[in-house]
A and B are shown apart, each in its own frame.
Chain A
Amino acid sequence: MLDFVLKRTLQMVLVTFLALTAIFFLVRLAGDPTALFLPPDAPKSQLEEFRHALGFDRPVYVQYTDFVWNAIKGDFGESLSTRQDALSMVLARVPATFQLAFSALGLSLLIAIPIGILSAYKRNSIFDRIGVAFTVVGQAVPGFWLGLILIYIFAASLHLLPSGGGGSIMHMILPTVTLASYSVARFARFTRSTTLDILSKDYIRTAKASGVSVTRILFRYTLKNSLIPVITLVALDLGALLGGAVIIETVFSWPGIGRLMLESLLRRDFSVVMAGVFFVAVIYSVLNFIADLLYALVNPQIRY
């Protein structure tokens, strides 16, 4: 077990380092940030001075080693626009993003797992067909479009819910539903196919032969087995959600990490982007690690 944790920690460090390196060079392809922070008619000397002050006039490899060294110390620099510490700016957005991500995940699991299980049990029935149609539509509809439609109906027309912003439960409803709709479809489809597979197993026949009821077979004996592959999917989706659902957060003006990163990128506020990427990479790795630990919890054949 200790070996495993150690190995995984090293892997996490490596993944984070590689992600940061890739982003470091990619954002620099976007162009020079200094031009955006000074008025267009600023004299060239002032521009040079500003670049020098920020260190952008140094060779890229020097900037890179400097960045890595500071990053190891947990220092991602200051935001170019607000002069605040970049990492603190990202961390300040974490609660909002987590709130949205976990409520969307909870909602989608709550809907998707029963639908998946019942579709598999009532295979080819009307319920199953409606379920399948629903999941196909759910996956096909783009989130930003659904978000705009929901805003149009519930905020603009009916005036029932706020169209954007954060702060209350009412603010959460629309973005949560929009985010969940895609995950519901994925989870339900996946649960259905794994449940179908499990239902044909010999051990389910054994349970039936012991006189176990259908409900108990579905929600106890089948569920624990079908959870194993579902965990992988949940970890990946949750990773994406926690990294900030960029588009949905923007559509609903949700004060989360996704929106912060998008705005920073557009402003070429490199330090904030880098701090955000660092955070997302770490979250992704940690989630994968947790998923691996969960496997061991549901599958006794996996032990670390």
Chain B
Amino acid sequence: MSTNRTPILEIRNLKTYFDTAHGEVKAVNGIDLKIYEGETVGIVGESGCGKSVTSLSIMGLLPKPLASIKEGHIYLGDKDLTKLKDKQMRKIRGNDIAMIFQEPMTSLNPVFTIGQQLSEPLKQHTKLGKKEIRERIIEMLNLVGIPRAEAIIDEYPHQLSGGMRQRVMISLAMLCKPKLLIADEPTTALDVTIQAQILELMKKLKAETQMGMLLITHDLGVVAEVCDRVVVMYAGQVVEDTDINRLFDSPQHPYTRGLLKSMPKHNARKSLLNTISGSVPTPNELPVGCTFAPRCPDAFDKCWAKRPSLFDLGNQLSRCWLHEKEDAEGGSHANEAVTRD
């Protein structure tokens, strides 16, 4: 699954912890991730698995001083984002890396016009004049499929529908032509037809710009629609890393299989929905062994005793003792990631 290209973004052994009243919470506990030019990588997992914290770590938008990156590196090209100062990070946000959020209804400031808000990244990152900024915004609004862009630019968010607002959010993210676009559940709050339109738009924009895209979602349908590669997260760790076809054809980790099984099927209306029994352990009460063991249908003795590392199955990575023997290189596939537990 590796190529000779250099990735746009490379995360190495990222650990982001929260300091809470109940002690240290390991929200992201050592993840590795690479995103290449023109590639869309999906991060899937249940609520609380660390997907969003991963994206906020990349953006440098963790709620300080509550959360901080304790270990690891985030490389954007040759820059290590974890080492940058606030001011340097600000030059990257909205410029090299941009982000779209889940809630289009509340993600735009209600008391500023669309144009005022969209001009912000251009004011921060370019030297364009007023008129050029306005032209650029109108061009971008047209690109994301907003009708009457010349009028909308002077309107306020409450005058637009949810789908339109998400298009505005996308145009906000795309204004400075980012190398990487992070989309955190971009379609979750939208109804299904609008979802499809927004996903189509994101695919189109990615194809035109060759940017890398990190899509965070819990919706495997969305993943199937847009992703090239998928990282499955569970309790702050990557449990499976695979390309999109193998995810659906031959999922390896029992958790991934469970997730796929619990997708509703349109021809099985009469039966109950499949679920994974139990719930995600809270990050400060993780079991000693495999974090998924308490919910795993295939768990055996070793799973309870020792935490597995990511095993390389040739084209897929899986954090499960079942795959220990299949690991081509005996449990040390790519880098130090394997020994980090």
Contacts and interface: CB of A to CB of B under 8 A. Distances in A.
B107 A203 contact: yes
A6 B335 CA distance: 75
Contact of B90 (A201, A206, A211): A211
Nearest to A204: B109
Interface stretch (A14-22, A23-31, A295-303): A295-303
B167 interface: no
B111 A205 contact: no
Contact of B91 (A207, A211, A301): A211
Given A203-B110, A210-B93, A301 B156 contact: yes
Contacts, number: 77
Interface stretch (B5-13, B119-127, B216-224): B119-127
Contact of B108 (A206, A209, A211, A225): A206
B61 A301 contact: no
A73 to B, nearest CB: 45
A298 B110 CA distance: 10
Contacts of A211: 90-95, 120-121, 124-125
A202 interface: yes
Contact of B172 (A210, A299, A300): A210
Contacts of B300: none
A202 B95 contact: no
Interface in B108-165: 108-113, 117, 120-121, 124-125, 156, 158
Interface residues of A, number: 22
A202 B121 contact: no
Given A210-B120, A301-B158, A225 B109 contact: yes
A207 B169 CA distance: 11
B234 interface: no
A127 to B, nearest CB: 15
Contacts of B125: 211
Contact of B103 (A202, A209, A210): A202
A215 to B, nearest CB: 11
A48 B172 CA distance: 82
A224 B92 contact: no
Contact of B61 (A203, A205, A224, A300): A205
In the complex, which of the residues B95, B103, B106, B120 has the most CB atoms of chain A within 10 Å of its own CB atom?
A: B120
Contact of A205 (B92, B101, B113): B101
Contact of A299 (B110, B113, B173): B110
A156 interface: no
Interface in A230-273: none
Contacts of A214: 86
A212 interface: yes
Contacts of A203: 106-110
B109 A221 contact: yes
B99 interface: yes
Nearest to A301: B158
Interface string B230-274: 000000000000000000000000000000000000000000000
A76 B158 CA distance: 50
B125 to A, nearest CB: 6
Nearest to B122: A210
A212 B103 CA distance: 20
A225 B106 CA distance: 13
Contacts of B124: 210-213
B59 interface: yes
Contacts of B117: 206-207
Max chain B CB contacts within 10 Å: which of A201, A209, A224, A301?
A209
B153 to A, nearest CB: 14
Contacts of B158: 300-301
Given A202-B101, A300-B156, A207 B110 contact: no
B94 A209 contact: yes
Which of A202, A211, A221, A298 has the most chain B CB atoms closer than 10 A to its own CB? A211
A229 to B, nearest CB: 13
A129 interface: no
A200 to B, nearest CB: 9
A74 to B, nearest CB: 41
A202 B110 CA distance: 11
B59 A209 contact: yes
Interface string B26-37: 000000000000
A159 interface: no
B107 A205 contact: yes
A206 B107 contact: yes
Contacts of A209: 59, 61, 93-94, 98-99, 101, 173
A54 B19 CA distance: 78
A28 to B, nearest CB: 49
Interface in A93-146: none
A52 interface: no
Interface of B: 59, 61, 86, 90-95, 98-99, 101, 103, 106-113, 117, 120-121, 124-125, 156, 158, 169, 172-173
19 contacts: A201-B106, A202-B107, A203-B106, A205-B101, A206-B169, A206-B172, A209-B94, A209-B173, A210-B94, A210-B120, A210-B121, A210-B172, A211-B121, A211-B124, A213-B90, A214-B86, A225-B109, A298-B111, A300-B111
